[in-house]
Amino acid sequence: MNHPFIVGITGGSASGKTSILHDIKSQLSPEAVSVVSQDNYYKPIEEQQSDEQGRINFDLPTSINRSAFFHDLMALKEGKTLQRLEYTFNNKEKEPEIVEVKPAPIIIIEGLFIFYFEEIRNQIDLKVYIDAKDEVKLKRRLKRDSEERGYTADVVQYQWNNHVLPSYYQYLRPYRDDVDLIITNNEGYHKGLDVLITFLKNKIQM
């Protein structure tokens, strides 16, 4: 491959993006694939928008440092190594680490708004959408945000109803019908993942 092949992976909150990315990286060599996560481009909390109740809404495209995200993607395509401070979802108990992303034949970018951001979308060679039922995603998010981020069930439910779902249907779901591959993840995703892994391995060998 003379230039990196860009894969964009999106899906609603708790659809399974992180798990699928972990499995992709486990089945490809570290030199073959690099991952850029939109999560590490959240603006500082003091720059985030609040809703009518005064609660910060992290589920808006404006919550992301869009220009930095695009700049780093282009730099990676040009063969430059990236270093960025890890975003810890405002978890004060977790010390952020420096995330280093090296150039690779396959670059995977993942996040909620990668298709909504036109300049990002136009760089993507293969668009992948992780699909799951809303009730399945909510159940996963309640468990994840309690265990990993220290949120109460009331906080998670409020965010889900007022931030997550409205944003999903406005900024993410409209792009579902324009992608190249949909991986359904209600009870498992490995058949769809096998298709993606086979395709990527063939790309590396070209």
Average pLDDT on 129-143 reads 96
Does residue 1 register a pLDDT over 60? no
Query: Within the chain, where are the H helices?
Result: 17-27, 66-77, 118-121, 134-148, 153-159, 165-167, 190-205
pLDDT digits (tens, 9 = 90+) for 87-122: 877 666 777 889 999 999 999 999 999 999 999 999
Asked if residues 136 and 186 have their Cβ atoms less than 8 Å apart, the reply is: yes
pTM: 0.93
pLDDT at 183: 98
- In 3D, which of 118, 113, 107 has the Cα closest to residue 36? 107
pLDDT at 88: 79
Does residue 194 register a pLDDT over 90? yes
The three-point CA angle 40-196-97 to 5° equals 20
pLDDT digits (tens, 9 = 90+) for 63-89: 999 999 999 999 999 999 999 988 877
The three-point CA angle 7-12-18 to 5° equals 60
Does residue 10 register a pLDDT over 90? yes
**Between 151 and 41, the higher pLDDT residue:** 41
pLDDT at 113: 98
86-95, 146-155, 184-193: range with lowest mean pLDDT:
86-95
Considering the chain, what is the average pLDDT of its residues?
94
Residue ranges per domain, the chain? 5-205
pLDDT at 90: 65
> In which band, very low, low, confident or very high, does the pLDDT at 146 lie, cut at 50, 70 and 90?
confident
Does residue 49 register a pLDDT over 80? yes
DSSP E strands: which ranges in the chain?
Answer: 5-11, 33-37, 82-85, 98-101, 106-110, 126-131, 181-184
Does residue 30 register a pLDDT over 60? yes
Average pLDDT on 194-206 reads 93
pLDDT at 3: 87
CATH code that applies to domain 5-205: 3.40.50.300
